[in-house]
Amino acid sequence: MRRTVLLLSVLLTLSLLLAACPAPPVPQEAQPAPAQEEAAGEAMAEEGAMKVIRLGAAVSETGKFAREGKDTRQGYQLWVDWVNDEYGGIKLGDERYKVELIMYDDESDPDTTARLVEKLITEDKVDFLLGPYSSGLTKSASAISEKYNKIMIEGNGASESLFERGFKNLFAVLTPAGNYTQSALEALAAKGAKSVVIAYEDTAFPTSVAEGAQKWAKEYGLEILGVETYPKDVADVSAIMTKFKDLNPDVFVGGGHFNDAVLFTRSAKELNFSPKGMVITVGPSNPKFVAEMGPDANYIIGPTQWERTMAYKDEYFGTAEEYAQRYEAKWGEPPTYQAAESTATALVLQIAIEKAGSLDTDAVRDALHSLDIVTFYGPIKFDETGKNVAKPMGAIQIQDGNILVVAPEAAAVAELIYPMPSWDER
């Protein structure tokens, strides 16, 4: 018994040492109080010729968000390499600051995210934080950045509830979930659609999307015939499709995750449910969806945060298409919108820092609030909660295997095909 207790004590002590190891040796930094950014920045600067701005992010490399996490990382890294090697560092007054980005793997787990964000702030002494992937992890992370009064700017947490907690340090460049279906529904209503049914996965992000869809449907005069929810990891949606088929709606709006997009399309065809327009929230804008579904993917409409064909441009990355080419040259694959919004996230931070002319949290926060710009990713203007209210959501339609932007009109490259041919007419 004693031996085992001894063993246990030794192990626990060892583990505590391990936990304490990465802690800085400076004793006065011990209390986890809001640290002064400048102090850290200057301390770093003495080592090299160029001063350094430290950024940190916990982004999933493993776990359920591994795929999107990879896009997010590549998007961030693209900006870091560009700003250091091509742009010559962030301009702060007359000086140029080199950017150092510390990224950790949060394993798609909220506990790990919280721990790593805390580590980034208290041990790595980062000046600013970039967001993780997904609304849930952003929620965990933003509570901590708020506590330490650090600005966290993100591009991958769209859930509206993120911005209802009164945080003053959280900013998001992407269009919030409530507006996801706006452009699509507006375009469909303009084409003569009169009624809509909505099915959504009962988790945070799809719920926000669906609530928004109901709001916009009313706005554009579409009658809501039915609303259905389904649980995560659902394997069969026949009942929803059967019910909707009997309601005979003009437009179907559905979705949660990529898997559901496959399931909905398959079920609709299997049960011969042919609405005049099918809007699926997540999936259609991803080229992999077309590759996997084959011709069944045609005519499906999906919202998109960004497409390379959009007409936006800025003085840093050029047009959206030029950004996409740069991304392909670097990573050997076309950018997803998750990648583009991650680059945009970092770019907006850079612009705000340059505008503020300081690394002070309050100054940069003020600068962020006063931004009203257009980037390759779209227009950026934050409201008081930190949401980007300027950027409309785009809508794409898959036409003959191509993903084409059909709304809003300013960004459209193709005409929306409505009504879509029914399954047996194809």
Partner 1 sequence: MSTLTQAARPSLLRRWGGLLLWLLLLALLAIYPYTGVTGSALFTATQVFVLVTLASNWNLIGGMTGYVDFGHAVFFGLGAYSMGILVTRVPLAFSPELSFWQALPLAGLVAALFALIIGLPTLRLKGPYFSIAMLGTFVAMREIIRILRPITGGGTGLDLPPVLNRVNEYYFMLGLMGLVVALIWWIRRSEFGYTLIAIREDEIGAEMRGINTTMHKIIAFMIAAFFTGIVGAFWAWQNTYIDPDVVFIEQRTVEMVMMSMLGGLGTVWGPPLGAVVIYFLQDVVWGNLLNFHLMALGILLILLVLFLPEGILGSLGDPSSTSLGRLLRRAGRRQE
Partner 2 sequence: MDQFLQALASGLLLGGFYAVMVLGFSIIWGVMGVINLAHGEFRMIGAYAAWALFRAFGLDPFASLVIILPVMFVVGYALQTILLNRVVERPHLMALLVTFGVSISLANLYKVIYSADPRSVPVSYNGSFELFGVTMPIVKTIIFFLALLIMGLLHTFLHHTRLGKSIRAAAQNKDAARIVGIEIHKVYAITAGICIALTAGAGAMLSPTQAIFPFMGPPFTLKAFTITALGGLGRIPGALLGGLLLGVTELMVATYVPGIGTNLGVAVSFVLLVVILIVRPQGLLGGLRPMEVE
Pairwise CA distance, residues 378 & 372, whole Å? 11
Say if residues 125 and 54 touch (Cβ distance below 8 Å): yes
Nearer to partner 2, 121 or 339 (CB): 339
| SS3 of 139-173 | HHHHHHHHHCCCCEEECCCCCHHHHHCCCCCEEEC
CA 254 – CA 212 distance, rounded (Å): 12
Q: What angle do CA 31, 37, 43 make, to 5 degrees?
A: 95
Partner whose binding site includes residue 11, from partner 1, partner 2, none (CB under 5 to 8 Å by kind): partner 1
- Least distance between partner 1 and beta carbon 50 (Å): 27
Interface of this chain with partner 2, residues 191 to 220, rule: CB under 8 A:
202
Q: Does position 234 bind partner 1 by CB under 8 A?
A: no
| Token pair recorded at residue 99 | 């950017």
Q: Which does 419 bind (CB under 5 to 8 A by kind): partner 1, partner 2, none?
A: none
**Binding string, 270-309, against partner 2, x = CB under 8 A?**
xxx---------------x---xxxxx-------------
Binding-residue pattern over the window 156 to 175 for partner 1, x denoting contact by CB under 8 A = ---x-x--xx-x--------
From 176, 108, 179, select the one nearest 141 (Cα to Cα): 108
Q: Which stretch binds partner 2 (CB under 8 A): 213-221, 229-237, 348-356, 400-408?
A: 229-237
Question: Which residue of 184, 240, 407, 417 would you call a contact of partner 2, by CB under 8 A?
Answer: 240
State the minimum distance, in angstroms, from the CB of residue 243 to partner 1.
18
Six token digits for residue 4: 């085992």
Site for partner 2 in 249-268 (CB under 8 A): 258-263, 266
- Name the residue nearer to partner 1 (CB basis): 5 or 49: 5
- CB count within 10 Å of CB 2 equals 6
Select the span of 40-48, 84-92, 139-147, 237-245 touching partner 2 (CB under 8 A).
237-245
CA nearest 397: which of 305, 312, 273, 280?
A: 280
- Binds partner 1 by CB under 8 A, chosen from 179, 181, 208, 338: 208
Please state, in angstroms and rounded to a whole number, the distance separating the CA atoms of residues 375 and 391.
10
Please state the length of the chain. Answer: 426
Beta-sheet pairing, 95-104 with 318-319: unpaired
The footprint of partner 2 (CB under 8 A) covers 64, 66-67, 202, 226-231, 233-240, 242-243, 245-246, 258-263, 266, 269-272, 288, 292-296, 423-424
